[in-house]
Amino acid sequence: SLETMQREMEKAAEEMAFEPNRTKNAIERLLKHNPAIRSIGLVNRDGKETFLLDRLRFITPKDFRDYSTEPYVGRALKGTVSFGDVFASSELEPYITLAAPVSHAGNIDQVLVSDINMRDLFSAIHTPKTTAGHIYVVDKTGHQIIHPNLSELLRRLDLSGRPIVSKVVRKHVIANGLAPEDEYINEQGERTFTVGMPISVADFSLFYEQPRSQALAQERQAITIAIGTIIGGIILLLFM
Protein backbone atom coordinates (compact mmCIF):
# COMPACT_ATOMS: atom_id res chain seq x y z
CA SER A 1 0.00 0.00 0.00
CA LEU A 2 1.00 3.63 -0.28
CA GLU A 3 1.00 3.87 3.49
CA THR A 4 3.45 0.94 3.69
CA MET A 5 5.69 2.42 1.00
CA GLN A 6 5.79 5.72 2.85
CA ARG A 7 6.80 4.03 6.11
CA GLU A 8 9.51 1.98 4.38
CA MET A 9 10.93 5.07 2.68
CA GLU A 10 10.98 6.98 5.95
CA LYS A 11 12.75 4.11 7.72
CA ALA A 12 15.39 3.92 4.98
CA ALA A 13 15.90 7.71 5.10
CA GLU A 14 16.39 7.54 8.88
CA GLU A 15 18.94 4.73 8.53
CA MET A 16 20.85 6.73 5.94
CA ALA A 17 20.81 9.77 8.22
CA PHE A 18 22.32 7.84 11.15
CA GLU A 19 24.71 5.69 9.10
CA PRO A 20 25.61 7.48 5.83
CA ASN A 21 28.09 4.76 4.94
CA ARG A 22 25.19 2.30 4.70
CA THR A 23 23.24 4.39 2.18
CA LYS A 24 23.70 1.99 -0.73
CA ASN A 25 22.78 -1.02 1.43
CA ALA A 26 19.63 0.69 2.65
CA ILE A 27 18.55 1.51 -0.91
CA GLU A 28 19.31 -1.98 -2.18
CA ARG A 29 17.31 -3.52 0.67
CA LEU A 30 14.40 -1.17 0.04
CA LEU A 31 14.36 -2.18 -3.62
CA LYS A 32 14.69 -5.89 -2.83
CA HIS A 33 11.82 -6.07 -0.34
CA ASN A 34 9.36 -3.81 -2.14
CA PRO A 35 8.58 -5.23 -5.61
CA ALA A 36 6.32 -2.30 -6.49
CA ILE A 37 9.27 0.11 -6.37
CA ARG A 38 10.77 0.45 -9.85
CA SER A 39 13.68 2.74 -8.99
CA ILE A 40 15.23 4.62 -6.08
CA GLY A 41 17.50 7.64 -6.29
CA LEU A 42 19.22 10.23 -4.13
CA VAL A 43 18.81 13.92 -4.90
CA ASN A 44 20.95 16.73 -3.46
CA ARG A 45 19.82 20.19 -2.32
CA ASP A 46 20.27 21.54 -5.84
CA GLY A 47 17.75 19.01 -7.13
CA LYS A 48 20.38 16.96 -8.94
CA GLU A 49 20.27 13.19 -8.76
CA THR A 50 23.56 11.74 -7.51
CA PHE A 51 22.68 8.06 -7.17
CA LEU A 52 20.12 5.79 -8.84
CA LEU A 53 19.20 2.11 -8.81
CA ASP A 54 16.63 0.76 -11.25
CA ARG A 55 15.06 -2.68 -11.10
CA LEU A 56 14.84 -3.06 -14.88
CA ARG A 57 17.87 -1.38 -16.40
CA PHE A 58 21.56 -0.63 -15.96
CA ILE A 59 22.19 2.96 -14.85
CA THR A 60 24.91 5.37 -15.92
CA PRO A 61 25.39 9.02 -14.80
CA LYS A 62 23.66 10.09 -18.02
CA ASP A 63 20.43 8.67 -16.57
CA PHE A 64 20.49 10.98 -13.54
CA ARG A 65 17.55 13.38 -13.51
CA ASP A 66 17.17 17.03 -12.59
CA TYR A 67 14.44 17.37 -9.94
CA SER A 68 15.05 21.04 -9.19
CA THR A 69 11.64 22.09 -10.52
CA GLU A 70 9.64 19.25 -8.97
CA PRO A 71 7.36 20.53 -6.16
CA TYR A 72 7.42 17.21 -4.26
CA VAL A 73 11.22 17.35 -3.98
CA GLY A 74 11.01 20.96 -2.80
CA ARG A 75 8.55 19.91 -0.10
CA ALA A 76 10.82 17.02 0.95
CA LEU A 77 13.77 19.41 1.26
CA LYS A 78 11.63 21.33 3.75
CA GLY A 79 11.07 18.18 5.79
CA THR A 80 7.80 16.77 4.44
CA VAL A 81 7.38 13.34 2.86
CA SER A 82 5.62 14.11 -0.40
CA PHE A 83 4.01 12.43 -3.40
CA GLY A 84 4.25 13.59 -6.99
CA ASP A 85 1.60 13.18 -9.68
CA VAL A 86 0.57 9.82 -11.09
CA PHE A 87 2.12 9.21 -14.52
CA ALA A 88 2.19 6.46 -17.14
CA SER A 89 5.46 4.68 -17.85
CA SER A 90 6.66 3.74 -21.32
CA GLU A 91 4.98 0.37 -20.68
CA LEU A 92 1.69 2.24 -20.02
CA GLU A 93 1.63 1.32 -16.36
CA PRO A 94 0.62 3.81 -13.63
CA TYR A 95 3.39 5.13 -11.38
CA ILE A 96 3.66 7.67 -8.60
CA THR A 97 6.83 9.27 -7.22
CA LEU A 98 7.47 9.44 -3.47
CA ALA A 99 10.10 11.73 -1.94
CA ALA A 100 11.41 11.48 1.64
CA PRO A 101 13.87 13.87 3.32
CA VAL A 102 17.29 12.64 4.49
CA SER A 103 18.91 14.75 7.19
CA HIS A 104 22.44 14.83 8.55
CA ALA A 105 23.20 16.64 11.82
CA GLY A 106 19.75 18.18 11.70
CA ASN A 107 20.11 19.54 8.18
CA ILE A 108 18.19 18.13 5.22
CA ASP A 109 20.71 17.87 2.44
CA GLN A 110 19.35 14.94 0.43
CA VAL A 111 16.04 13.51 -0.72
CA LEU A 112 15.27 9.84 -1.27
CA VAL A 113 13.11 9.49 -4.40
CA SER A 114 11.32 6.37 -5.60
CA ASP A 115 9.02 5.56 -8.52
CA ILE A 116 6.26 3.20 -7.36
CA ASN A 117 4.22 1.00 -9.69
CA MET A 118 0.59 1.28 -8.65
CA ARG A 119 -0.76 -1.43 -10.95
CA ASP A 120 -1.30 -4.01 -8.21
CA LEU A 121 -2.91 -1.45 -5.93
CA PHE A 122 -5.27 -0.39 -8.70
CA SER A 123 -6.18 -3.93 -9.77
CA ALA A 124 -7.00 -4.85 -6.17
CA ILE A 125 -9.76 -2.24 -6.07
CA HIS A 126 -12.93 -3.72 -7.53
CA THR A 127 -16.66 -3.24 -7.30
CA PRO A 128 -19.23 -5.75 -6.02
CA LYS A 129 -20.36 -8.19 -8.72
CA THR A 130 -23.95 -7.56 -7.69
CA THR A 131 -23.96 -3.97 -8.96
CA ALA A 132 -23.49 -2.19 -12.29
CA GLY A 133 -21.33 0.49 -10.70
CA HIS A 134 -17.60 1.06 -10.74
CA ILE A 135 -14.89 2.82 -8.74
CA TYR A 136 -12.74 5.63 -10.04
CA VAL A 137 -10.05 7.69 -8.31
CA VAL A 138 -8.88 11.22 -9.08
CA ASP A 139 -5.78 13.12 -8.05
CA LYS A 140 -5.65 16.50 -6.32
CA THR A 141 -6.43 18.29 -9.60
CA GLY A 142 -9.49 16.16 -10.35
CA HIS A 143 -7.84 14.10 -13.11
CA GLN A 144 -8.81 10.44 -13.26
CA ILE A 145 -5.98 8.12 -12.23
CA ILE A 146 -7.82 4.85 -11.52
CA HIS A 147 -10.54 3.28 -13.64
CA PRO A 148 -11.40 -0.39 -14.33
CA ASN A 149 -11.08 0.26 -18.07
CA LEU A 150 -7.43 0.80 -19.13
CA SER A 151 -8.38 2.90 -22.15
CA GLU A 152 -10.31 5.24 -19.87
CA LEU A 153 -7.37 5.44 -17.47
CA LEU A 154 -4.94 6.41 -20.23
CA ARG A 155 -7.21 9.28 -21.31
CA ARG A 156 -6.56 10.91 -17.91
CA LEU A 157 -9.89 12.72 -18.01
CA ASP A 158 -10.32 15.96 -16.11
CA LEU A 159 -13.37 15.25 -13.94
CA SER A 160 -13.11 18.39 -11.82
CA GLY A 161 -16.16 19.76 -13.64
CA ARG A 162 -18.36 17.25 -11.86
CA PRO A 163 -19.71 19.08 -8.78
CA ILE A 164 -19.30 16.08 -6.49
CA VAL A 165 -15.67 15.63 -7.58
CA SER A 166 -14.93 19.32 -7.06
CA LYS A 167 -16.55 19.22 -3.61
CA VAL A 168 -14.61 16.19 -2.37
CA VAL A 169 -11.28 17.27 -3.88
CA ARG A 170 -11.36 20.92 -2.82
CA LYS A 171 -13.19 20.73 0.50
CA HIS A 172 -11.87 17.30 1.59
CA VAL A 173 -15.33 16.18 2.66
CA ILE A 174 -17.32 12.97 2.27
CA ALA A 175 -20.20 13.22 -0.22
CA ASN A 176 -23.02 10.72 0.30
CA GLY A 177 -24.59 11.32 -3.10
CA LEU A 178 -27.88 12.62 -1.70
CA ALA A 179 -27.30 16.31 -2.35
CA PRO A 180 -28.96 17.50 -5.61
CA GLU A 181 -25.64 18.80 -6.93
CA ASP A 182 -23.98 15.38 -6.46
CA GLU A 183 -25.81 13.99 -9.49
CA TYR A 184 -24.21 14.19 -12.94
CA ILE A 185 -24.51 12.63 -16.38
CA ASN A 186 -21.49 10.45 -17.22
CA GLU A 187 -19.76 9.88 -20.57
CA GLN A 188 -22.29 7.15 -21.44
CA GLY A 189 -25.18 9.59 -21.03
CA GLU A 190 -26.41 7.99 -17.81
CA ARG A 191 -27.68 9.92 -14.79
CA THR A 192 -25.62 8.69 -11.86
CA PHE A 193 -25.72 8.13 -8.14
CA THR A 194 -22.20 8.66 -6.80
CA VAL A 195 -20.54 8.61 -3.40
CA GLY A 196 -17.12 10.21 -2.82
CA MET A 197 -14.50 10.28 -0.10
CA PRO A 198 -11.07 11.95 0.21
CA ILE A 199 -7.93 9.86 0.81
CA SER A 200 -5.31 11.54 2.96
CA VAL A 201 -2.26 9.87 1.42
CA ALA A 202 -1.22 11.52 -1.86
CA ASP A 203 -4.35 13.73 -1.90
CA PHE A 204 -6.42 11.23 -3.86
CA SER A 205 -10.23 11.07 -3.82
CA LEU A 206 -12.19 7.88 -4.42
CA PHE A 207 -15.66 7.65 -5.96
CA TYR A 208 -18.19 4.89 -6.51
CA GLU A 209 -20.56 5.56 -9.41
CA GLN A 210 -23.63 3.58 -10.45
CA PRO A 211 -26.63 4.27 -12.68
CA ARG A 212 -29.16 6.34 -10.77
CA SER A 213 -32.04 4.21 -12.05
CA GLN A 214 -30.56 1.18 -10.34
CA ALA A 215 -29.64 3.06 -7.18
CA LEU A 216 -33.09 4.53 -6.71
CA ALA A 217 -34.72 1.12 -6.96
CA GLN A 218 -33.07 0.15 -3.67
CA GLU A 219 -31.82 3.44 -2.29
CA ARG A 220 -30.72 2.34 1.17
CA GLN A 221 -28.94 -0.74 -0.14
CA ALA A 222 -27.26 1.33 -2.87
CA ILE A 223 -25.90 3.81 -0.36
CA THR A 224 -24.65 1.03 1.92
CA ILE A 225 -22.92 -0.79 -0.96
CA ALA A 226 -21.41 2.44 -2.27
CA ILE A 227 -19.98 3.48 1.08
CA GLY A 228 -18.74 -0.03 1.84
CA THR A 229 -17.05 -0.27 -1.56
CA ILE A 230 -15.31 3.08 -1.09
CA ILE A 231 -14.09 2.20 2.40
CA GLY A 232 -12.77 -1.13 1.08
CA GLY A 233 -10.94 0.67 -1.72
CA ILE A 234 -9.35 3.12 0.67
CA ILE A 235 -8.20 0.30 2.94
CA LEU A 236 -6.54 -1.41 -0.04
CA LEU A 237 -4.81 1.79 -1.14
CA LEU A 238 -3.54 2.73 2.29
CA PHE A 239 -3.04 -0.34 4.40
CA MET A 240 -2.84 -3.61 2.44
Q: What is the pLDDT of residues 145-169, one digit of tens each?
A: 876 666 666 677 899 999 999 999 9
Distance in angstroms (rounded) separating the CA atoms of residues 121 and 200? 16
Q: What is the pLDDT of residues 51-99, one digit of tens each?
A: 999 998 899 999 999 999 999 999 999 999 999 988 878 877 888 899 9
Asked if 223 contacts 217 with a C-beta cutoff of 8 angstroms, the reply is no
Backbone angles phi, psi at 143, to 5 degrees: -85, 140
Q: What is the pLDDT of residues 178-236, one digit of tens each?
A: 888 899 998 888 899 898 988 877 788 989 888 887 766 555 555 555 555 555 555 44
Distance in angstroms (rounded) separating the CA atoms of residues 113 and 99? 4
Q: Is the pTM of this model over 0.85?
A: no
Q: Dmax of the chain from CA atoms? A: 64
- The residues, ordered by sequence, that sit 6+ positions from 16 with a Cβ below 8 Å of its Cβ are 22, 23, 26, 102, 110, 112
